Amino acid sequence: MASPCSWRKWITTFEALDYDVAPDGERIVMQIADSNGMPRFWIVSLDRRSPPRDIPGVEGTQPRFGPDGDIFFRRTEGPTGFVYRVRLNGTGLRKVFEQPIYGFDGISRDGQWIKAFAIRAANEGPSWQAIPVDAGPSMPLGGAHAWHWSATEDMVGISGSPLPEGRSYIVPLEPGEALPRMPAAGFRSEQELAALPGARRIDVDTAVPGPSPDVYAFYRSTTQRNLYRIPIR
């Protein structure tokens, strides 16, 4: 078992390029470049009682926890890529569906919908969609590109276009639904989002809902600059 000191040393040695927190809040999966620059996945326990460990034999990007503990991720193949899933021990690697995608941004808490940037029809360009894991038509999401489901499966946080910078909405979900009811073409304006029953505006860039509507996580960045003087000869 690694000591807390060695655990902290490991964290400061490697840079996480992407990450996701498990629904139970006890683990993190991180995308880390190995010594050859290849993207690998590591699992870290937040209680620090066990050392970080890699998922052996797996390369990919954008790792996300599924509802059963599997890791869903994007693997590049040619000009696009596909969504794969794998168990934490590296077994059970398989492609989720045959539709190629250009971007992957998560899976609903019930495991039924993949949020991906993909081509929906032959005469259309790629767009953000909710693609069913099982057979069925996809649902356009409009411009909104950041969707975060609560661990309780009854809320979703929506950020990004068409919302202005620094603004998000947390929307309650009906029992048994993983997506809010939306226009056929997806959300095209803030007014459409704000009109959803129970929608709550949050003035942050990205709001990730917690166990209740009043609890959410968000990212905040600051910029610091220093003024120097140098002699001119």
Structural domains of the chain ordered from first start: 4-218 (2.120.10)
Cβ-contact 165, 205 below 8 angstroms: yes
Considering only residues 51 and 1, tell me which one the structure prediction assigns the higher pLDDT: 51
What is the pTM (predicted TM-score) of this model?
0.72
Distance of alpha carbon 200 from alpha carbon 203, whole angstroms: 10
Considering only residues 186 and 53, tell me which one the structure prediction assigns the higher pLDDT: 53
Q: What is the pLDDT of residues 52-61, one digit of tens each?
A: 899 999 999 9
Percent of the chain with pLDDT over 90: 23
Distance of alpha carbon 134 from alpha carbon 98, whole angstroms: 11
CB neighbour list of residue 41: distance below 8 Å, 6 or more residues apart: 29, 30, 31, 32, 54, 55, 58, 60, 63, 71, 73
Per-residue exposure over 26-49, b if at least 16 CB sit within 10 Å of its own CB, e if not: ebbbbbbeeeeeebbbbbbeeebe
Whether the per-residue pLDDT at 147 is higher than 70: the answer is yes
Average pLDDT across the chain, whole number: 82
Q: What is the pLDDT of residues 105-117, one digit of tens each?
A: 888 878 888 888 8
- Strand 80-86 and strand 207-209: the pairing is unpaired
pLDDT at residue 197, as a whole number: 92
Confidence of residue 5 (pLDDT cuts 50, 70, 90): very low
> Cis before residue 209, ω within 30 degrees of 0?
no
Q: What is the pLDDT of residues 155-166, one digit of tens each?
A: 888 888 788 888
CB neighbour list of residue 194: distance below 8 Å, 6 or more residues apart: 169, 201
- Nearest CA-CA partner of 144 in 187, 114, 198: 187
Q: Which of 4-18, 60-74, 132-146 has the lowest mean pLDDT?
A: 4-18
Confidence of residue 83 (pLDDT cuts 50, 70, 90): very high
Residue the block writes with tokens 């460990």: 53
Considering only residues 12 and 164, tell me which one the structure prediction assigns the higher pLDDT: 164
Residues in the chain: 233
Whether the per-residue pLDDT at 2 is higher than 60: the answer is no
Confidence of residue 9 (pLDDT cuts 50, 70, 90): very low
